[in-house]
């Protein structure tokens, strides 16, 4: 608590000393602004209907506007960027047999903040999107922003976080001081959503602290040492990844084929996290590492991309398997039983993701950019219904031509359950201002889980192909 107090004092003092400059720099007349935007038509095609009878076709339109304003003196900027997705299946609902059950419409602010520049510091206030990390598959250290999972657990989007931020660059490195008033809740897929075998209650709970009014603090130092980039951070506040706890008093029909009589409620805990991220260039190789240590009574899976979805799925399957064993033995499904099988919060744990990236294009003296990626993930809570290790294999190819041909392949494997996932992405520019992209994703459960659930959870229902045509203006 002392460290949190002094960190808050330092941030507030820095902002107070610069307040006169900040107010004087606020633009009233003059300066210039510039709008940019992108619009895309996307559709997902599923080979089979969903667990709750969802259709095979999911079209939508995505609009992302942005605006940047700079004053005449060059010491103030205002930045805005937003995100809107309109699920067209809602529009077509009157012309089809039944209303859509899997809407992925959502709208949110990514950035909306003022940026003031002084001789040694940068100060900003408002909603911002911040990224920390070096790994490709999972960014453990990336803790500032909350995520939206409405489009599916594999398609995460960052929500703007309100904050006061002070940044300086010196000979000894770059320093970020961040004060965050208020916690943003994670957005989960709606009932009946595709790419989500579970439904999460909208009634979030806060286990400790001041709830969603808690004041979060973060500090990060980063520096480059030759071919190595190193970052260290400390975070104190509400965890961005809530624990999902089963409740019998909040029933809902789940979009999965087996009987289930409980709902998962997101419970947010207050944590302290320290971490390290490293990117080290070694000739044609790049070594990447992210490590964290978390203090706090929290058990949660970081929902981020395919890895986060896969780990969340395996954790839920373990809970469901225990419930089926209890019912098969003639036992009752009570809240006490659900509490007894819930993963126990360790109070403190460590996790890491490490990987290597090989530049094959350089080795082969090719004009193309060929890269191979291998990453492995470890979580100390492996005895708490989480997979102990995950391995990610992948590759990236870019033609470096005027049409910007690019392709990526990622494969995920969990050896204990013999389960895995696959994702392939391809994009190229068409015409002058249009970008075509496609994506294929599939998740496979190993024999152990299929036996436990008697083949009831056929995850192949959520294999899909996504096509997108995007333009910029």
Per-position DSSP letters for 28-66, written without gaps between them = SS--EEEEEEEEEEEEEE-SS--TT---SEEEEEEEEEE
What pLDDT score was predicted for residue 47? 84
What pLDDT score was predicted for residue 143? 92
What pLDDT score was predicted for residue 287? 97
What pLDDT score was predicted for residue 186? 84
What pLDDT score was predicted for residue 310? 59
Helices (H) and strands (E) in the chain, counts: 7, 23
What pLDDT score was predicted for residue 6? 47
What pLDDT score was predicted for residue 11? 47
Per-position DSSP letters for 120-159, written without gaps between them = S-EEEEEEE-------SS--TT--SSEEE-TT-TTS-EEE
For 311, the enclosing helix (H) or strand (E) is helix 305-328
Q: Which stretches in the chain have pLDDT values below 70?
A: 1-31, 51-53, 90-102, 152-156, 190-199, 209, 248-262, 297-321, 339, 341-346, 382-389, 417, 445-460
What pLDDT score was predicted for residue 280? 97
Strand blocks (E) in 255-368: 263-268, 270-282, 285-295, 348-359
0.85 exceeded by the pTM?
A: no
Tell me the C-alpha distance between 49 and 98, whole Å: 14
Tell me the C-alpha distance between 410 and 390, whole Å: 13
Phi, psi of 323 (to 5 degrees): -65, -45
Buried b (16+ CB within 10 A) or exposed e, 20-56: ebbeebebeeeeeeeeeeeebebbbebeeebbbebbe
**Tokens linked to 42:** 């996307």
Classify residue 335 as left (phi > 0), alpha (psi -120 to 50) or beta. alpha
């Amino acid at each position: 608590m002392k460290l949190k107090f002094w960190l808050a004092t330092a941030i507030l003092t820095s902002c107070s000393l610069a307040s006169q400059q900040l107010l004087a720099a606020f633009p009233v007349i003059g300066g210039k602004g510039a709008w940019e935007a992108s619009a895309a038509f996307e559709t997902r095609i599923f080979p089979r209907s969903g667990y709750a009878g969802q259709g095979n076709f999911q079209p939508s339109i995505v609009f992302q506007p942005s605006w940047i304003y700079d004053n005449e003196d060059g010491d103030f900027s205002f930045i805005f960027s937003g995100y809107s997705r309109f699920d067209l299946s809602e529009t077509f609902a009157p012309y089809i047999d039944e209303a859509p059950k899997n809407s992925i419409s959502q709208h949110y602010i990514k950035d909306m903040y003022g940026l003031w520049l002084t001789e040694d510091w940068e100060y900003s206030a408002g909603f911002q999107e911040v990224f920390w990390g070096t790994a490709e598959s999972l960014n453990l250290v990336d803790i500032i922003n909350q995520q939206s999972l409405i489009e599916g657990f594999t398609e995460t989007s960052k929500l703007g976080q309100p904050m006061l931020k002070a940044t300086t660059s010196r000979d000894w490195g770059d320093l970020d001081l961040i004060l965050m008033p208020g916690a943003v809740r994670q957005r989960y897929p709606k009932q009946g959503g595709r790419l989500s075998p579970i439904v999460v209650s909208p009634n979030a709970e806060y286990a400790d602290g001041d709830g969603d009014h808690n004041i979060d603090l973060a500090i990060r130092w980063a520096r480059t040492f030759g071919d190595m980039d190193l970052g260290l951070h400390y975070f104190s506040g509400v965890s961005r990844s809530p624990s999902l706890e089963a409740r019998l008093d909040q029933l809902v029909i789940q979009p999965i084929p087996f009987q289930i009589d409980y709902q998962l409620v997101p419970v947010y805990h207050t944590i302290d996290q320290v971490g390290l991220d490293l990117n080290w260039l070694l000739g044609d190789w790049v070594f990447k590492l992210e490590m964290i240590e978390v203090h706090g009574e929290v058990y949660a899976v970081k929902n981020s991309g395919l890895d986060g979805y896969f780990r969340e799925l395996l954790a839920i399957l373990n809970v469901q398997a225990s419930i089926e064993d209890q019912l098969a033995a003639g036992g009752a499904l009570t809240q006490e039983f659900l509490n007894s099988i819930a993963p126990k919060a360790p109070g403190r744990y460590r996790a890491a993701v490490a990987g290597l990236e090989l530049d094959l294009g350089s080795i082969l003296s090719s004009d193309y950019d060929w890269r191979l990626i291998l990453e492995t993930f470890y979580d100390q809570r492996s005895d708490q219904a989480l997979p102990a290790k995950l391995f990610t294999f992948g590759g990236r190819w870019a033609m470096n031509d005027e049409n910007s041909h690019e392709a990526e392949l990622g494969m995920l494997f969990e050896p204990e359950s013999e389960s895995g996932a696959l994702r392939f992405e391809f994009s190229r520019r068409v015409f002058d201002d249009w970008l075509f992209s496609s994506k294929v994703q599939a998740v496979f459960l190993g024999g152990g889980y299929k036996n436990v659930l008697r083949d009831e959870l056929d995850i192949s229902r959520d294999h899909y192909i996504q096509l997108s045509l995007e333009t910029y203006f």
